[in-house]
């Protein structure tokens, strides 16, 4: 039971983290959706090859749906299985400044002969500058954890602390993260500390003149574990990613291509070992678009073989 509750606590901040960390206008921008979308349903299918024509077969797991307000922010987010039954559900409430004030979540755990519903919520607090300074998480009506954030005079987040609550209400410090930025506001260093103050992780970032991330180094217990290098096209789309593992004899290189709509057409992974290049896998994609410019069908190929079909059903304001 404690493990399930812990998953609920972690689930809420994870789903919304993307909208907190990226400087975007709204959720539609982050999801790269065009026009005023009211709702979106995403369903995955097994592909069927009928004499060279790829059609949708059995519905797969991992489906989801969104609803948006007229300002382009997510009002609800659900995940559902191939049978259409909802597995998780979130309702998001906003304040007058269109900032999240509360997220209410329902997790449905299937135990075979019975199902258990776990309700949880996260409550957001802001300072006078509109910065999120606290996220308080509940399992049912019980406080389970909170995240506390500090900002500098530029309104950049410089520290985040995690605190857990015991059954008796006692607070337990769970660790913290420290953030540093360059003069343009780009995150250049992120350090994680355990509850006893030991450094656990460190990430360093380098950017080009267009503020694209071109290098990332990841450390664990002060040991370099991985370095990544990135290249971009004129539209600031990533076209190459090199992964260097210092403790191994090989490196990975990924190449990306895009269509005129900015959607990924292909990705190729290459293993470089002892100066020999070996193609691990090449993925390619085919799209069908609606009159708004959003793709409604995507066929995913692995090494030339159709593996998945994804359909997106839109409703517009």
Total-model pTM: 0.82
Taking only the tens place, the pLDDT of each residue in 224-263 is 999 999 999 999 999 999 999 888 878 899 999 999 989 9
Burial status of residue 178 (CB atoms within 10 A of its CB: 0-12, 13-18, 19 or more)? middle
Domains contained in the chain, CATH given: 102-181 (2.40.128.720)
Give the C-alpha separation, 110 to 188, whole Å. Answer: 42
d(CA 216, CA 204): 6
Tens digit of each residue's pLDDT (9 = 90 or more) over 12-54: 444 444 334 444 589 999 999 999 999 999 999 999 998 889 9
pLDDT averaged over 10-residue windows placed end to end, the chain, 317 residues: 42 42 74 97 96 93 97 97 94 95 93 88 97 97 97 98 94 98 98 97 98 98 95 97 88 94 92 74 95 97 95 98
The 10 Å CB-count burial string (b at 16+, else e) for 220-235 is eeeeeebbbbbebeee
Q: Judge contact between 94 and 111, C-beta under 8 A.
A: no
């Amino acid at each position: 039971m404690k493990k399930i509750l812990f998953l609920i606590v972690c689930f809420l901040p994870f789903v919304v983290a993307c909208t907190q960390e990226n400087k975007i206008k709204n959720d539609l921008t982050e999801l790269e959706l065009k026009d005023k979308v009211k709702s979106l349903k995403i369903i995955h299918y097994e592909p069927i090859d009928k004499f060279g024509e790829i059609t949708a077969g059995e519905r797969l797991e991992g489906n989801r749906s969104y609803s948006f307000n007229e300002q382009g922010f997510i009002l609800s987010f659900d995940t559902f299985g191939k049978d259409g039954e909802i597995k998780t559900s979130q309702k998001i409430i906003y304040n007058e400044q269109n900032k999240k004030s509360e997220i209410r979540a329902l997790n449905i755990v299937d135990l075979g002969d019975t199902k258990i519903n776990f309700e949880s919520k996260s409550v957001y607090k802001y300072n006078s500058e509109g910065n999120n300074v606290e996220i308080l998480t509940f399992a049912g009506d019980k406080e389970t954890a909170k995240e506390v954030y500090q900002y500098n005079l530029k309104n950049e987040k410089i520290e985040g602390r995690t605190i857990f609550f015991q059954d008796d209400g006692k607070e337990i410090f769970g660790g913290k993260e420290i953030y540093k930025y360059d003069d343009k506001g780009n995150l250049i260093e992120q350090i994680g500390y355990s509850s006893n103050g030991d450094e656990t992780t460190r990430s360093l970032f380098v950017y080009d003149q267009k503020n694209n991330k071109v290098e990332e180094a990841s450390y664990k217990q002060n040991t370099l574990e991985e370095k990544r290098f990135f290249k971009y096209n004129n539209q600031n789309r990533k076209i190459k990613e090199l992964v260097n593992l210092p403790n191994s004899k090989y490196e990975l290189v990924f190449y990306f291509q895009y269509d005129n709509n900015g959607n990924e057409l292909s990705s190729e992974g290459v293993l470089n070992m002892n100066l020999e290049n070996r193609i691990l896998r090449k993925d390619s994609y085919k799209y069908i678009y609606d009159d708004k410019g959003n793709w409604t069908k995507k066929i995913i190929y692995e090494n030339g073989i159709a593996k998945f079909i994804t359909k997106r059903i839109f409703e517009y304001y």
